[in-house]
Amino acid sequence: MSAPPAAADIAGFIFEEARLLDSARWEDWLGLFAPEGRYRVPLPGGAAPAETAGSGAADDEPLGQSIADEDLLLLRIRIARLRHPRAYSLQPQVSCQHVLQQPHVERIDRAGNTFTAYTPFMYAECKGDEQAILFGAVRHRLRLHEGALRIVLKRVDLLNAAAPLPAIYLFI
């Protein structure tokens, strides 16, 4: 990126990220993460490590679980499995569609190399004749890494995260 990122660059990055997922370009999507990047889908009432800096989220809850909490190694494994011919749950093929609201860029801290945004979404996943629809909001924490915006944390807060959930096969 030639100039420091503006809000429009951050929003564009987030739209592009969703498009890669909706196109099943998972390896390209993984390339958007910083080396220390994380993908997390919390369970309400679960642990809230210091991941939403400045958001006031509790940092000190020692208990709790997450629906997903993956570093790059785990994301690579998950993507390798999605490509495996005997990933039975992907037969028939599963596809997804993100519908994003305009990202609200919350923080542009060039000195601290931290950029955050809040993006309400609707997410639909279709397997064969069946479709599941989820609502929620994504919190992105980004930084510049080797000149490009990269994901430090993608945190997906589902509206009904505490409810019994059907299998969610792809990445929200």
> Apex CA 66: angle with CA 13 and CA 129, to 5°?
70
Among residues 132, 140, 137, which one has the least CA distance to residue 97? Answer: 132
Q: Token match 């801290």: residue?
A: 109
| Out of 4, 31, 54, 166, the residue judged to bind another protein by CB under 8 A | 166
Residue 24 lies near another protein (rule: CB under 8 A): no
Contacting another protein within 117-136 (CB under 8 A): none
Residue 31 lies near another protein (rule: CB under 8 A): no
| Out of 7, 49, 76, 108, the residue judged to bind another protein by CB under 8 A | 76
Question: 55 and 46 in contact (C-beta within 8 Å)?
Answer: no
Residue 96 lies near another protein (rule: CB under 8 A): no
Question: 109 and 120 in contact (C-beta within 8 Å)?
Answer: no
Give the contact letters, 56-75, x = binds to another protein (CB under 8 A), - = no. -----xxxxxxxxx---xx-
Element at 38 (helix H, strand E): strand 33-42
Question: 113 and 129 in contact (C-beta within 8 Å)?
Answer: no
Residue 95 lies near another protein (rule: CB under 8 A): no
| Out of 50, 87, 99, 159, the residue judged to bind another protein by CB under 8 A | 87
Q: DSSP letter for 93, please.
A: -
Q: Report in angstroms how near the CB of residue 27 gets to another protein at its nearest.
A: 12
- Site residues for another protein per CB under 8 A: 41, 43-47, 61-69, 73-74, 76-78, 80-81, 84-89, 91, 162-169
